[in-house]
Amino acid sequence: MNGTVTSLGLDPNSNAVALHGYDQSTGYLTNSFYNSSGQSNTSLSDAASLPPTLFPFSPSQSIPPNTLNPMIHALNRSGQSDKLVGCIVGAESSGITTSQQSPPNTARGLMQVTRGAAQDVAGSAPGGAQLYSQLADPAINIATGSAYLNLQVNRYHGGDLQAGLASYGTGPAYASARQACAQKP
């Protein structure tokens, strides 16, 4: 795979291996399946269609920057800088894939995407109903969270980044802090 494997699975009954990741040259999420004879089938996919799988890093530790930054670059759907999305990930989860806020808040994963945000991004897309349950997968979370940021900035706030960030987070101070973070060298 020309890119990064974000998750993998093994079916012990058939000895099939499923690799999920993203292709750095295209920016698409990929699914590759290898059966016991080594034959492969690779498909490009939207984040909403990926099944939840095991992530190769410890779910209780931050994803290393040399893995996280290229992942953000490949999956950033916000229309904003990768640095800004990275600042959101840092503030929301410190790069820990399994971050989840306590009820009643339903935010999950790297970008702390809520159930409502996931539904908003999925709309009527096939597989949209399962998107919220898949948010622990870092690739799905970044693709979904950055797409939701795009909705906040462009659809709901007419291109106003400050207002979109405030709505994504917890208000004007959140927006100012993320913008300041993104401006740092």
Which residues of the chain carry a pLDDT beneath 50? Answer: 1, 28, 43-55
Shared domain for 94 and 134, answered yes or no, is yes
Query: For residues 45 and 65, what is the distance between their CA atoms, to the nearest angstrom?
Result: 24
134 belongs to a structural domain = yes
**Whether residues 69 and 137 fall in one domain:** yes
CA distance 66 to 45: 23
- Within a domain: 60: no
What per-residue confidence (pLDDT) applies to 122? 87
Same domain, 116 and 149: yes
Pair 69, 117 in one domain: yes
Q: Are residues 42 and 74 in the same domain?
A: no
**Does some domain include residue 36?**
yes
Cα Rg of the chain, angstroms = 16
Contacts of 59 (CB under 8 A, 6+ apart): 96, 97, 98, 136
Residue 55 lies in a domain: no
Q: Which of 117, 34, 119, 20 has its CA nearest to residue 74?
A: 20
What CATH number corresponds to the domain at position 172?
1.10.530.10
In this structure, are 90 and 134 located in the same domain? yes
User: Do 87 and 118 share a domain, yes or no?
Assistant: yes
Q: Tell whether 58 is covered by a domain.
A: no
**161 and 73 within one domain:** yes
Same domain, 74 and 147: yes
- Write down the pLDDT at residue 59: 62
Q: What is the predicted pLDDT for the residue at 46?
A: 45
> Is the separation of the CB atoms in 28 and 143 below 8 Å?
no
| pLDDT of amino acid 35 | 54
Three-state DSSP state, 174: helix
**pLDDT at res. 30:** 57
Segments forming the whole domain that contains residue 175: 65-183
The answer to whether 60 touches 45, Cβ cutoff 8 Å, is no
pTM for the full predicted model? 0.70
Residue 177 and residue 112 share a domain = yes
Q: How many structural domains are present in the chain?
A: 2
Asked if residue 87 is part of any domain, the answer here is yes
> Do residues 76 and 148 share a domain?
yes
Query: Residue 31: its pLDDT value, please?
Result: 54
